[in-house]
Amino acid sequence: MATCSSDQSVKIWDMGENGEWVCTSSWKTHCGPVWKVTWAHPNFGQIIATCSFDRAAAVWEETVSDSGHAIHSAWIRRTNLVDSRTSVMDVKFAPKQQGLQLATCSADGVVRIYEAPDVMNLNQWSLQYEINCKVSCSCISWNPSPSRLHSPLIAVGSDDPSSSSGGKVFIYEFSNNTRKWTRVETLVTVTEPVHDIAFAPNLGRSYHLLGIATKDVKIIALKPNKQDNAQNQSSLSTFEVRQAGQFDDHGSTVWRVSWNMTGTILASSGDDGCVRLWKANYLDIWKCISTLRGEGVVNIPEMASVGNTSQQTGGTTTGQTTARYFKLAPTTHPSHVPWH
């Protein structure tokens, strides 16, 4: 596990055989608060990327040495990407099928995509594309779909407080014909500042799911329109956009959203100190299936009823139940600052 913080440091935590988390590496990375840290796919090795208020993004690689008495690991900075003129707000590696690519977004409204032409030489990264979103960018997400039927997609969120800028989420698609990224959709229904955005893993769905963290939680379904010829290609938009769910259960600002590996459950965290899990039933109606509170108690709400008949287990109506999470090991210290 990797964490980053406002004290300019990044820490790597490993779980030992006894189940306890141990900080195995800690180092100063940037000249300002570190906003995000992300892992590359394991196929490329142990690689992370960080971004910071100091207008830079960095790529780090773990090197392991054996002294005969013990195995030592160290994280080496392989490159420093300094093309941005403002704070780099987010950094994400592309899905593995697209090679070793890295996307960054900045407060100056520019998304930059870098590529390492030789995965064995991480010192060399070339700037491949610059996408000018014309509005401050706060977060990005690659579409992880492995299907060749789906073109590469990037979703960009904006935290611009101005309501006159319109929608705050933009979808960009890469065309193999023109070799360019083009904006194909603007989600005009999202008008509040966006703090996080995440495409769901797609394991066979004909549409894409996008989780959005704003003042509430939004789930957007993007279904590609079938375009048979050039004539209807000009008349149809690229996607049929449908809002699958919108929830204000947090009652406060939502900061992070994250999908499970099958793309069926969305987790969200907010200022209410809770992590909430969302899942769709067989009618494609999204519901909160559990709430993890700061004190470690999980509330499982009553199951959704079909018609007027409540789901029952053993003849007893399923009511609110609780489960408890147990802390396995502490990962914080009183001298540590809050983690992002």
- Name the region of 53 (left: φ>0; alpha: ψ -120 to 50; beta: rest): alpha
C-alpha 17/C-alpha 292 separation (Å) is 26
Q: What is the pLDDT of residue 269?
A: 95
Q: What is the pLDDT of residue 185?
A: 93
C-alpha 34/C-alpha 112 separation (Å) is 18
Among candidate residues 168, 180, 114, 102, the one with its CA nearest the CA of residue 138:
168
Q: Could you report the per-residue pLDDT of 1-51, keeping only the tens digit for each?
A: 999 999 999 999 999 888 889 999 999 989 999 999 999 999 999 999 999
| Sequence-separated (6 or more) residues with CB below 8 Å from residue 291 | 249, 274, 275, 276, 277, 298, 299, 301
Q: Could you report the per-residue pLDDT of 281-324, keeping only the tens digit for each?
A: 989 999 999 999 876 667 776 544 433 333 333 333 334 445 55
- Amino acid letter, 6: S
pLDDT over 70 at 229, yes or no = no
Confidence of residue 236 (pLDDT cuts 50, 70, 90): low
C-alpha 85/C-alpha 110 separation (Å) is 10
| Sequence-separated (6 or more) residues with CB below 8 Å from residue 317 | 302, 310, 311
Taking residue 206's Cβ as centre, other Cβ atoms within 10 Å add up to: 10
Segment (H or E) for 62: strand 57-66
Burial degree of 217 (CB within 10 A; 0-12, 13-18, 19+): buried
Read off φ and ψ for residue 42, nearest 5 degrees: -60, -20
Cβ atoms 155, 197 nearer than 8 A? yes
Cβ atoms 129, 157 nearer than 8 A? no
Cβ atoms 30, 53 nearer than 8 A? yes
Ordered DSSP codes for 78-130: EEEE---SS-EEEEEEPPGGG-SEEEEEETTSEEEEEE-S-TT-TT--EEEEE
Cβ atoms 274, 250 nearer than 8 A? yes
Cβ atoms 132, 170 nearer than 8 A? no
CA 144, 219, 305: angle at the middle one, nearest 5?
Answer: 120
Q: What is the pLDDT of residue 66?
A: 74
Find residue 10's DSSP bridge partners.
Answer: 4, 27
Give percent above pLDDT 70 in the chain.
82
SS3 content of the chain, % helix, strand, coil (to 5): 5, 50, 45
What structural domains does the chain harbor?
1-132 (2.130.10.10), 138-340 (2.130.10.10)
